[in-house]
Amino acid sequence: MSQRSLRSNHRSRNIPLSVVDLMPFRKGDSPSQAMADTLALAQATEAAGYHRYWIAEHHNSRGLVSSATVVVMAEVAAATTSIRVGAGGIMLPNHAPYVVAEQFGTLAAFHPDRIDLGLGRAPGTDPWTIRALRRKVDAGEDFPREVAEVRTYLAPSRPSQRVHAIPGQGSGVPVFVLGSSTFGAALAAQEGLPFVFASHFAPQQLERALETYRSRFRPSANLEQPHAIVSAGAVVADTDSEARRLFTSMQRRFLTLVRGNMEFLPPVPDIDALWSPAERQAVGSMLAEAQVGSPATVRKGLTELAERTGADELMLMTETWDLEDRIRSYQLLADTWSN
C-alpha cells in the first residue's frame, strides 16, 4: 500500500482500528504457548476486520516475549491472509539500518503489500541489555540519520549507490515514525512520514506532539498530508464492572514496571489493596488514555479520543490474563465500532 493512499478522515465511525501486541507472557506458561496465543489473536483480529497487527520490541522482560520482532512478524504474516503486519516498532538503536532494510525487504517479498515498518528511538530495555545488544547507550541520538539510512535502502537505487539491501531495495515498505514526545513528531513532520504516538503507556505529550506533527508537516513523495495514529489501551467486556476487573491485570503489569520488575499477572478484585497512593498515580498517568468498559462505554471513549486528537487511525493494546477474554474484547469492540 502506498503511503500516498493514506487519507485523513476525522469521522470516528470511519477511523480504522488496529492492534499493537506486546506479547504478554504469563508466569508459568511456556514461550511456545505465548507464541501460539499471538497467532490465535492475529487470526481472530483479522477475522474481526482490524486493519493492522503490529508487534512491539522489548528485551529482558519477564512479562513480555516480543524480543525477536521480525521473526514473530514472519509467523503472523504466514498465519494470516489480509491484515497488514508490522513492527510497532523496531527500536532502531538496537539494529543496523542495513540489516533492518534487508529483513523487511525479505518480509515484503514473502508477503507483498502487507508489511509495515514502524521505527522507534527508545531501546526498549535497560542499560545492561543495551550493552548485551552491542549498541551504545546514547545510540538514540543517531535516530534521524538512521531513519534516513533505512529509507535509502528501501527506496529505488541511485546511480551512485554502492551498497544495496537485497531484498529491500525498491520495495517501498511503508515507514512510520513512532514516538511518545515531540521529537518523533517533529522528525515525522520534517520527512513527510506517518506518525504513531504511544499513548498506550506514555500519553502525557499526546496533544502537544500531534500539534507539532501537523503544524510542521511537509508533504513528501510518500505522503501528501499528515497521517496520525494514536495508540491506547482498551479492555472491553459485557459489562463495565467485568471490564474493570479484567483491566486490573494490565494495571498490575504497569505496577510491576513502576517497581522495576516487569511481570504479567492475573486480575484481582481490589487493585487498590496492592499499591500505594504514589504508585496509583504513576500507573494512572501511564494508562490515562486507556478505555475500559462495556462496548458502548469504550466506543464512546474511543470516539471522544479520536475527536479530541483528530486521529486518522486508532491502534489498541488489549491485555487480559486469559486469551479468550482478550479475543472477545477485540471482537466486541469491532462489532460495536462497525455499527
Residue 237 to residue 56: CA distance in whole angstroms: 24
Give the per-residue pLDDT at 12: 47
Instruction: Calculate what percentage of the chain has a pLDDT beyond 90.
Output: 78
Q: Which of 12-16, 107-111, 152-156, 279-283 has the lowest mean pLDDT?
A: 12-16
CA neighbor of 109 nearest in space, from 180, 172, 58 = 172
Say yes or no to pLDDT of 301 above 90: yes
pLDDT grade for 289, boundaries at 50, 70 and 90: very high
Q: What is the pTM of this model?
A: 0.92
Can you tell me the mean pLDDT for 176-189?
95
Strands 195-197 and 115-120: unpaired
Domains present along the chain, CATH in parentheses: 10-243+289-338 (3.20.20.30)
Confidence of residue 190 (pLDDT cuts 50, 70, 90): very high
Lowest-confidence range among 20-34, 137-151, 190-204, 297-311?
137-151
Mean pLDDT of 186-192: 97
Name the phi and psi angles at 172, rounded to 5: 65, 30
Mean predicted confidence (pLDDT) in 272-281: 96
Bridge partner residues of 85 (DSSP): 53, 115
State the pLDDT at residue 139.
Answer: 55
pLDDT at 27: 83
User: Bigger pLDDT: 339 or 246?
Assistant: 246
Mean pLDDT of 186-190: 97
Whether residue 318 has pLDDT greater than 90 = yes
Torsion of CA 97, 98, 101, 107, to 10 degrees: -120
The pLDDT tens digits for 59-109 are 887 888 988 999 999 999 999 999 999 999 899 988 999 999 999 999 999
